[in-house]
């Protein structure tokens, strides 16, 4: 079988027409030059001496003087020049516009004719070149706009990509942690494959499905899986591809997209980030303009308008459903809204199993334990975690990916990379150790806190140390006891500094703890209704920005008296948390000192290390590092950016100086 590229139908015809156009463009000036030349017979050039002799012999009948110097003429009798007889001739006067030459011609009674100098072929082409270029560009643009497709300047054509059989397929086997969403989408796929099974009972094909969920939960991955499972034409497009700087282009692209869909029905159209084009109409604030609203209007009409688009299913994805226009969300357009939320424990375990396929894992890797230690992480975060673990294992020259690599990668992703280049004085290091030990003691001894996961005085991000907890299971709500325990833990670091070093040596390192605790306390009073003095009333903020119609106004939602009560109650809740932390650390000061000294020795303590310290036992030696591959050059890897961290209490931050 030959691998030579095949000539597309009509390709030779298009090439011949283009070649003919350029030949015509050069032929016209040439013909024009020949027509304006006025020469029907060749006039060979002769020397001026021969011309002078023949003029003196009265053998010149007529001449045409061009430009005052060039002469074309005719002899009365033929003259032998260079071995041939000539009747016509051409020559050049030695001096332009010579009066003597004209007088001699008059004296011989020669017929004289004067003409302006003729342009040369090059000069004519040079003058016509701008017009040739303009006409050529105009013809090119006209042909390209008529051709359509994805060619240049076809603004009104859809930019949707049709997934072909050569595209690597993603199936539902590659998607984990979204079982409910897969069930909903699988039903749409079955409807496309066997519509008679559903229509015989009076059902109709769904018009659209909207995937809603936080970033990184796998909405686009689900759409790719639908494309792999459906076996039908699948058009993929982004919401930003509709909107251009030219008014009406977006609406034209919507029409063209659905025309392609109807031509390939039954099919699926996927629009990613539909909030770029589906925002609420009439909201002049935030960049609303006529082009976007016209595009949205056309999309509404195409989905459920006067003409039906049978066999075309629209799947869209967004993480901002609150900004979408209500007309877009109604049944008949998006019949189903499929929530793709953060995965639970079983979902995270399934996602990790998907991403560790074809990776060499050590025997000590516990996927269940790793999934329990990553609450709140989405699918993209877990994929990044596995990738970071593989990179760290390669950086440490390990032969496999060990559990310690996953733990280090988890700390790197959730908390940021270690700042090993930061050198702290011994006094600052000791202060940081007691600060983090104060958080740890409150986390252990105050009832309601999640289990303490790790305490470290190794700087990460902007914090000089960290103490953070991890819940034992997934949680959808928080109790009052847990909130008050969290507030007490927040002030554990400040209280420990005050007890050990005195009030005059307390630092500004607890600023992030105070900010976090103040925010929790205000929501405790004004939003969650947990204050006995205020009661279960949604108070909100004292002043709230409200968008009314087309203007942004600031409206007071509570009275001055209620606002003062809220402030007093917030202060009371914070003071109670501070006093509770003071009592806890004062009672367990021996545990505080054991944890601080262990931090100064080892810098990082795990949950198992804390358990030994609680019992008053000595810490066991560190485990041996994992096996390594043969020595190889280690390439430093860039630091990972923090993604999403669990509830934690940060250590002292560097001073502004």
**Structure token pair of residue 369:** 């334990």
Is there a contact between 453 and 373 (Cβ–Cβ < 8 Å)? Answer: yes
DSSP string, 149-191: TTSTT-TTS--PEEP-TTSPP--GGG--S-HHHHHHHHHHHHH
φ/ψ (deg, to 5) at 308: -90, 150
Report d(CA 77, CA 80) in Å as an integer. Answer: 10
How many angstroms separate the most distant Cα atoms in the chain? 140
**What string of H, E and C letters represents the secondary structure of 562-581?**
HHHHHHHHHHHHHHHHHHHH
Report d(CA 87, CA 80) in Å as an integer. Answer: 9
Report d(CA 328, CA 324) in Å as an integer. Answer: 7
Q: Shortest CA distance to 413 belongs to which of 373, 450, 467, 451?
A: 373
Report d(CA 65, CA 113) in Å as an integer. Answer: 6
- Residue 78 CA to chain centroid, in angstroms? 85
Q: Shortest CA distance to 384 belongs to which of 643, 648, 647, 645?
A: 643
Q: H/E element holding 554?
A: strand 551-556
Report d(CA 494, CA 511) in Å as an integer. Answer: 9
How far lies 56's CA from each of 105, 107, 109, 110, in Å?
10, 10, 12, 12
Q: H/E element holding 321?
A: none
Report d(CA 252, CA 241) in Å as an integer. Answer: 12
**Structure token pair of residue 396:** 């440490």
Report d(CA 417, CA 411) in Å as an integer. Answer: 8
Q: Are strands 336-339 and 208-212 parallel, antiparallel or unpaired?
A: parallel
Contacts of 307 (CB under 8 A, 6+ apart): none
Contacts of 608 (CB under 8 A, 6+ apart): none
Report d(CA 599, CA 216) in Å as an integer. Answer: 36
Q: Shortest CA distance to 651 belongs to which of 325, 353, 416, 311?
A: 416
Radius of gyration of the chain (CA): 43
Q: Shortest CA distance to 478 belongs to which of 524, 413, 423?
A: 524
Residues classed as catalytic: 436
Is there a contact between 434 and 596 (Cβ–Cβ < 8 Å)? Answer: yes
Dihedral in degrees, nearest 10, Cα atoms 11, 14, 15, 19: 170
**Segment 548-551 long-range contacts (CB within 8 Å, at least 24 positions apart):** 550/282, 550/284, 550/285
């Amino acid at each position: 079988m030959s691998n030579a590229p095949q000539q597309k139908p009509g390709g030779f015809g298009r090439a011949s027409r283009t070649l003919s156009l350029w030949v015509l463009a050069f032929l016209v000036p040439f013909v024009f030059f020949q027509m304006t030349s006025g020469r029907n017979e060749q006039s060979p050039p002769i020397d001026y001496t021969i011309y002078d002799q023949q003029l003196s012999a009265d053998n010149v009948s007529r001449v045409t003087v061009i430009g005052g110097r060039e002469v074309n003429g005719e002899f009365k009798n033929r003259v032998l020049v260079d071995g041939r007889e000539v009747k016509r001739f051409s020559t050049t006067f030695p001096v332009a516009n010579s009066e003597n030459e004209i007088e001699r011609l008059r004296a011989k009674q020669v017929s004289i004719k004067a003409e302006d100098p003729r342009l040369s072929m090059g000069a004519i082409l040079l003058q016509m070149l701008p017009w040739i270029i303009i006409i050529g560009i105009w013809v090119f643009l006209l042909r390209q706009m008529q051709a359509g497709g994805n060619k240049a300047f076809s603004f009104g054509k859809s930019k949707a990509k049709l997934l072909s059989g050569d595209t690597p397929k993603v199936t539902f086997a590659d998607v984990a942690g979204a079982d409910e969403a897969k069930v909903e989408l699988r039903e749409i796929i079955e409807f496309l494959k066997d519509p008679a099974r559903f229509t015989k009972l009076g059902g109709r094909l769904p018009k659209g499905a909207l995937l809603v969920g936080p970033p990184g939960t796998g909405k686009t991955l689900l759409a790719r899986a639908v494309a792999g499972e459906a076996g039908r034409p699948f058009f993929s497009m982004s919401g930003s591809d509709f909107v251009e700087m030219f008014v009406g282009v977006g609406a034209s692209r919507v029409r063209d997209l659905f025309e392609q869909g109807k031509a390939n029905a039954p099919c699926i159209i996927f629009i990613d980030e539909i909030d770029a084009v589906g925002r609420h109409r009439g909201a002049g604030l935030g960049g609303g303009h006529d082009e976007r609203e016209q595009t949205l209007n056309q999309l509404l009409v195409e989905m459920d308008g006067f003409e039906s688009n049978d066999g075309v299913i629209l799947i869209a994805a967004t993480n901002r459903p609150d900004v979408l226009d209500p007309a877009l969300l109604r049944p008949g357009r998006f019949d189903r809204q499929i929530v793709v939320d953060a995965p639970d424990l079983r979902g995270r375990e399934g996602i990790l199993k998907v991403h560790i396929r074809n990776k060499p894992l050590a025997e000590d890797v516990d996927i269940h334990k790793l999934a329990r230690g990553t609450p709140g992480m989405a699918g993209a975060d877990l994929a990044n975690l596995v990738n970071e673990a593989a990179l760290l294992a390669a950086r440490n020259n390990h032969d496999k990916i060990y559990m310690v690599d996953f733990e280090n990668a988890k700390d790197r992703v959730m908390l940021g990379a270690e700042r090993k280049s930061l050198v702290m004085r011994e006094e600052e290091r000791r202060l940081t150790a007691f600060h983090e030990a104060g958080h740890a003691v409150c986390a252990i001894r105050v009832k309601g806190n999640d289990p303490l996961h790790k305490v470290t005085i190794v700087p990460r991000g902007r914090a000089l140390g960290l103490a953070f907890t991890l819940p034992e299971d997934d949680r959808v709500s928080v109790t009052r006891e847990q909130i008050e325990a969290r507030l007490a833990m927040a002030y554990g670091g400040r209280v420990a500094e005050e007890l050990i070093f005195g009030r005059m040596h307390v630092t500004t390192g607890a600023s992030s703890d105070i900010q976090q605790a103040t925010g929790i306390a205000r929501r405790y009073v004004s939003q969650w209704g947990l204050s006995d003095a205020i009661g279960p009333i949604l108070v909100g903020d004292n002043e709230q920005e409200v968008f009314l119609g087309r203007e942004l106004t600031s409206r007071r939602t509570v009275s001055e008296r209620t606002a003062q009560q809220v402030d007093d109650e917030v202060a009371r809740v914070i003071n109670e948390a501070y006093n509770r932390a003071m009592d806890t650390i004062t009672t367990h000061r021996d545990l505080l000192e054991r944890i601080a000294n262990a931090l100064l020795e080892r810098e990082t303590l795990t949950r198992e290390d804390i358990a030994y310290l609680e019992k008053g036992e000595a810490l066991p030696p560190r485990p041996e590092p994992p096996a390594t591959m043969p020595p190889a050059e280690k390439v430093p890897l860039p630091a990972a950016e923090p993604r999403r961290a669990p509830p934690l209490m940060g250590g002292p931050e560097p001073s502004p100086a």
